[in-house]
């Protein structure tokens, strides 16, 4: 509900655009329900602004939802971009430091992320906190976004 929105707010602020409007909302819902909620939010905002969005993203953790594949298809049929992580968004953070090609639990992502960040001498006492509003800036400072994109 907050981890992804905090990251994406900072990502959007960090990118230049002459015309930009975004609405980032954490819903904490199952995947198909989230896609349907995205439709409601898009319609409401387009009515308020009297301007259509040029793109809409719906992002979710895979978790154990049975409707995962259905949600991706539903998002595509509505013209939305879908993004997801396998189990936890923290995997994206970890990929800024290392390639990971193995089944790893959410707790292991966090332990590995802390280890990678602590390799930087300015962050030797680093402790990850879910919903950290500063994680985007930290990843930009000592992580490697190009590596994360390549690994994902």
Q: Which region among 13-17, 21-25, 91-95 has the lowest average model confidence (pLDDT)?
A: 21-25
Closest CA to 113 of 137, 134, 94: 94
Q: Is the dihedral of CA 4, 130, 63, 27 positive or negative?
A: negative
Greatest CA separation found in the chain?
50
Range 73-77, long-range pairs (CB < 8 A, 24+ positions): 74/32, 74/35, 74/36, 75/35, 75/38
What's the predicted TM-score (pTM) here?
0.66
Residue 85's DSSP bridge partners are 61
User: CA triplet 105, 138, 3: central angle to 5 degrees?
Assistant: 50
Percent of the chain clearing pLDDT 70 (strictly above): 81
Closest CA to 87 of 67, 60, 113, 69: 60
Start-to-end CA distance of the chain, whole Å, equals 22
Report pLDDT for 131: 84
Report pLDDT for 19: 43
Residue 24 in tokens = 């980032």
Please give the residue that has the higher pLDDT: either 98 or 45: 98
Report pLDDT for 21: 54
């Amino acid at each position: 509900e907050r981890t992804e929105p905090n990251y994406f707010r900072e990502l959007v602020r960090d990118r230049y655009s002459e015309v930009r409007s975004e609405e980032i909302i954490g819903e904490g819902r199952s995947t198909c329900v989230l896609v349907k909620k995205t439709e409601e939010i898009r319609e409401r905002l387009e009515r308020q602004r009297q301007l259509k969005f040029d793109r809409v993203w719906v992002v979710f953790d895979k978790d154990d939802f049975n409707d995962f594949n259905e949600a991706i298809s539903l998002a595509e049929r509505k013209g939305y971009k879908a993004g997801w992580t396998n189990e936890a968004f923290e995997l994206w953070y970890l990929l800024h430091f290392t390639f990971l090609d193995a089944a790893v639990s959410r707790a292991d992502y966090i332990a590995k992320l802390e280890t990678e960040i602590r390799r930087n001498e300015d962050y030797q006492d680093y402790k990850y906190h879910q919903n950290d509003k500063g994680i985007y800036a930290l990843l930009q400072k000592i992580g490697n976004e190009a590596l994360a994109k390549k690994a994902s």
